[in-house]
Each structure stands twice: as structure tokens, then as C-alpha cells.
Amino acid sequence: MFSSFKKDRPSEAKPVVEHQLSSTGEELRAAVDSIGKQASNMGREAAEVRGLMEDTQKVSARQAQTMNALAGKVQEITKAQDAISGVSKDSLNAVDRARKAVEEVGEGVNAIVATLRQVSQAAQTITKIALQTRLVAFNASVEAKRAGEAGRGFGVVADAVKDLAAKVESSSKEIMSTVGELDQRIDALSREIRVEGDDADKQGGFHRALTDVQSGVASINEAAEQSRGICADLNQQMATVEQEIHQTTRALDSAFVRSESFLKVSENLIDLVSHCGIETEDTPFINAAQEAAAQISKLLEDSLRTSTINLVDLFDEQYKSIAGTNPQQHTTKFIDLADRLFPQVQERVLAMSNKIVFCIAADRNGYIACHNKKYCNPQRGDLAWDTANSRYRRIFNDRTGLASARNQRPFLLQTYRRDMGGGNFVVMKEAAAPIVVAGRHWGGLRLAFHF
């Protein structure tokens, strides 16, 4: 019975072992698939965090630039305030000089008034003398008439003296009248420039005007001083804010580097899973990218063999900017060939799955000569629209773009956040495979797809 049991045992144990091996393989595949999915999710989150941190870095940089510009403006305002203060002090000094000059004029006016009064008194004396002379001449004329023929000549002289005295009297009266008008005008001027103590009501109009000017200039100077103080406080606060921005920027840079490491870890996990030989959800896209890269390579090699293009033009890196484009577009010597050959491969792969976002061939510098047709629209001058819909003839030398373009391994799988323009971003995966022509690395086939 025992011998019978021993004889039958190996045949009974074999199915059990096979079942265990089969069960272990299924568990292994399930575990790898689970790791792949978790790595994929981790990569998605890492890409999103990295993108947000990159956006924050850009905002922080713009804030720093704005703060520097604002600090420059504050310095300009301070200089202008210094100039205002200098002009205000000069104005106050000018007002003082004007006041002194007016006071000197007032003294001169007083002297003029005294002189005019002397002139008036002299004119009054002349008038009296002329009146007396006219009376004497009148009496002489009467006496000459009484003398008859003997007094005729004397009468003529007396009449002439009388007429001359009348003219002198008239002239003296005119002088007195003119002096009176001058006296009134000078008195009015004297009242305008008169200074009588510190009482403003007793000041002349000109001095009151000078006082108003002086008060206004003093107010301007005081306001400039206050503004200077405010600018000094603002400058100090901006210096503090600028220092905090720099600290934030350094912290963001450090966090960005760490997020980059985190993203690389997730990508390495995805890569390990993809290379373990077990099919994952990414495998069809990786295979499609490799097949498309091989087809592009063959098309380019055929073009070289048939002399459709030469090697130098195919590897042309002299990118010429297209004027008036934003985002900037460029041309090369192989764009016509790319427009003719690439769409047949790129559009076929794009139609494989609705999860595929784009399929493009990039040279080793990230230059996209020909994009998918839906992204090959002429620019309209609308930056947001052009960024999203006019993506051909452009250089994408960002982290993901360059890594895919310069990858020479059988394939590269990355996770990243794609800028669609207008503040719109999409997190996706990208499988890349190298394009090799005549033994030289030309670039990479980039196939992006949604999670």
C-alpha cells in the first residue's frame, strides 16, 4: 500500500506544481500591472505638481521683475522730490530777495514822494510870483497909458510881462496838477508795497501776494518731504518683500529639483515595468511609437538613396525664423520633404486610438517640421489660439521635448504637462523611439497619449 502510494505520488504532484506556477505567474503579472498603474498615477501627480511649481516659479520671477521696476520708479520719484525741494528752497530765497527788493523800491518811492512835494511847493511859489508879476505888469500898463505917448514903449513891455506871467502861472498850475496825479499814483503804489509790522491786514497787496507765494512754496516743500518719507518707508518695505521673494524663489527652485527627482522615480518605475516583458496599458503605444519611428527612418533613408535630399540638408540645423510669427516658427532645408513624407505615418498612428493626442517626428533639437494636420493651421495673430493650433515649424526644447528627441534607447516613456495655450494644460504620457538614418541619430518619434 505504501509502495503503491510512493509510485503514484509524482504523477499526482505534477498538476499541483503546474497550478502553483501558473498561479504564481498570474500573481506576478497582477503585481507588475498594479505597480505599473500606481507608478503611472504617481507620475501623473508628479507631473502636475512639477507643472504647478513651474508656473509658480514664473509668477515669482515676474513678481521679482515687477518689484525691481517698482523700486526703480520709487527711486525716480525720490529724485524728483529732491529736485522739488531744491526748487522750493530756491523759490523761497527768491521770494525773500523780491521782498527786500520791494522794500528798497518802497524806500525809493518815499524819496520820490518827498521830491515831488518839494516840486509842488516850488510850483506853488512860482505861481504866487507869477500872480504878483502879472499884477505889477497890469499896474505898469495902466501907468503907461496915463503917460500917453511917452509911456507907449513901457506899456508894450508891461503887456509882454503880463502875458509871460500868465503863461508862467498856467505852467505852474499844470505842474502842480501833474504832481498831484503822480502823488496819488505813487501813494497807491506805496500802499501796495508798504510794510507795517507783522499784521497781514496791514501789509501791502504786493507783500500779501509774496506771503501767499511763500506759504504755497512752503506747502509744496512740506508735501515733498512727507512724500520722501513715504517713499523711504515704501523702499524699505519693498526691499523686505524682494528679499522674501528671493527666499521663496530659492525654496521653489529646491522644491522643483525635488519634484523633478520624484518625477524621474515614477518614470523609472514605469520604464522598469515596461521592460519586464509583461504587457501593460502602455505597451500598445510604445510598440506604435517604435513602428512609426522605423517607418520614418526607412522613408528618410529611401530619400537619401534616391537623392531626393542629401545628408547635409536632411541634418540641417540652421533654423531660419519666420518673420511675424508668435510663437516663433522656423524653416529648414528638409521641411518640404517632411511635409511630403511624415503625414502618411503620423496620421495613421493618430487614428489608432482616441487616447492618442499627437504623433510627430522631431529632430534631435526638438524641431517639429510637420505636425499632425489638426495642429498645422496658419497663425491668426491670436497668441492663445496660435499656441494651441499652430504647432508646426516650431522648436519644442523643453524637458520632455528634448528628452524624446535625443533619446537613443529602444524607447522612452515620460509623463508631463502639455501647455495648450491660454492657461490650459493637459497631463499625459509620451512614448518616444529614436529615428536613425544612415547610422546617424536624426531625432525621435514622439507619441503622446492620455492616461
pLDDT per residue over 207-243, tens digit each?
667 677 767 777 776 776 777 778 777 777 777 777 7
- Give how far Cα 141 sits from Cα of 47, 138, 151, 161, 191, Å: 133, 5, 9, 10, 51
Across the chain, which has 451 residues, the per-10-residue mean pLDDT values are: 40 47 60 62 61 66 74 74 73 73 68 73 75 73 73 70 73 75 71 60 64 74 74 76 73 64 63 68 93 98 98 98 97 98 98 96 98 97 93 95 95 82 78 97 97 83
Does residue 262 sit in helix, strand or coil? helix
Contact 240, 71 (CB under 8 A): no
- Give how far Cα 146 sits from Cα of 140, 142, 151, 153, 155, Å: 10, 6, 8, 13, 10
Q: Which of 17, 40, 43, 62 is nearest to 252 (CA)?
A: 62
* Domains of the chain as residue ranges with CATH: 36-265 (1.10.287.950), 282-449 (3.30.450.20)
> What is the distance between the alpha carbons of residues 299 and 320, in angstroms, rounded to a whole number?
25
- pLDDT score for 212: 73
Q: H or E element: which one contains 429? A: strand 424-437
Strands 424-437 vs 412-421: parallel, antiparallel or unpaired: antiparallel
- pLDDT score for 337: 98
> What is the distance between the alpha carbons of residues 377 and 15, in angstroms, rounded to a whole number?
63
- pLDDT score for 13: 46
> What is the distance between the alpha carbons of residues 139 and 132, in angstroms, rounded to a whole number?
11
DSSP helix, strand, coil percent of the chain (3-state; round to 5) = 75, 10, 15
> What is the distance between the alpha carbons of residues 418 and 375, in angstroms, rounded to a whole number?
14
356 Cα distance to chain centroid:
40
> What is the distance between the alpha carbons of residues 356 and 348, in angstroms, rounded to a whole number?
11
- pLDDT score for 202: 55
> What is the distance between the alpha carbons of residues 184 and 414, in angstroms, rounded to a whole number?
101
- pLDDT score for 7: 42
